[in-house]
């Protein structure tokens, strides 16, 4: 897949989010995980992105309960591996993934992502990201090095970041209020990411947690 094919696929998914007719007609449909997890390679964002997401999710809290994203877990996925229910990490696998990131890290230069739109579907909210070519170039390089270690990392479909996962159905009026928050909130701007974190995540009905095993400063 080329960079431009990646952008086209991403835009098609963003377009699905923009069609909020199901949210209006059927309301929220939370997808609550009991205990799901997997290995993750996560791009961590600059302070302007983190602060904007934190302020945004506080608005959501006034309308509905959700799994919040903040400085500890807001991220853009670079790759995941062995995502499943009742996940349990293995040290050997973590070492292989960490080594792949370490060996590919010289390629992670000049990544920028423009976050210009808040989007919502029936179970979650995201910020839509438009990356530069360096973002996709590093995903390609990362995939190459993980494959050399016998690991087939799942690539992300886009440069978005999840900002909330909804936990309850709400009334029609509150649903419209929630939609308006997403529609009226201003774009964030450009992120110049600060770190790549390698570890594993746990998603439950209460939280999304990234357990960091190694951090690489960009």
Under DSSP, is residue 58 helix (H, G, I), strand (E, B) or coil?
Answer: helix
What pLDDT does 155 receive? Answer: 97
Query: Please, what are the averages of pLDDT over each run of 10 residues along the chain (218 residues)?
Result: 96 98 96 90 96 95 94 96 97 98 94 97 98 98 96 97 96 98 95 97 94 98
Strands 195-203 and 189-191: unpaired
Provide the token pair at 134: 């360096």
The region, left, alpha or beta by phi > 0 then psi within -120 to 50, assigned to residue 55 is: alpha
Q: Are 129 and 76 in contact, with CB atoms under 8 Å apart?
A: yes
Give the CA dihedral 30, 34, 39, 43, nearest 10 degrees: 40
* C-alpha pair distances (Å), 215 with each of 79, 160, 199, 203: 15, 21, 9, 20
What pLDDT does 32 receive? Answer: 80
What pLDDT does 128 receive? Answer: 98
What pLDDT does 34 receive? Answer: 80
| Domains of the chain listed by start with CATH number | 3-217 (3.90.1140.10)
């Amino acid at each position: 897949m080329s960079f431009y094919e990646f952008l086209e696929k991403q835009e098609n998914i963003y377009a699905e989010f923009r069609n909020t007719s199901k949210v209006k007609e059927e309301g929220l449909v939370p997808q609550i995980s009991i205990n799901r997890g997997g290995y993750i390679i996560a791009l961590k964002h600059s302070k302007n992105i983190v602060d904007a997401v934190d302020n945004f999710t506080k608005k959501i809290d006034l309308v509905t309960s959700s799994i919040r994203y903040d400085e500890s877990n807001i991220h853009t996925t670079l790759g995941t591996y062995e995502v499943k229910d009742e996940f349990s990490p293995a040290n050997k696998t973590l070492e292989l993934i960490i080594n792949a990131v370490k060996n590919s890290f010289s390629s992670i230069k000049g990544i920028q992502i423009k976050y210009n739109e808040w989007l919502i579907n029936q179970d979650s909210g995201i910020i839509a990201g438009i990356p530069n070519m360096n973002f996709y170039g590093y995903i390609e390089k990362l995939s190459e090095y993980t494959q050399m270690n016998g690991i087939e990392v799942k690539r992300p479909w886009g440069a978005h970041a999840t900002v909330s996962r909804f936990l309850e159905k709400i009334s029609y009026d509150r649903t419209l209020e929630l939609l308006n928050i997403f529609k009226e909130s201003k774009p964030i701007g450009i992120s110049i990411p600060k770190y790549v974190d390698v570890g594993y995540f746990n998603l439950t009905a209460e939280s999304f947690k990234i357990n960091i095993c190694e951090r690489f400063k960009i």
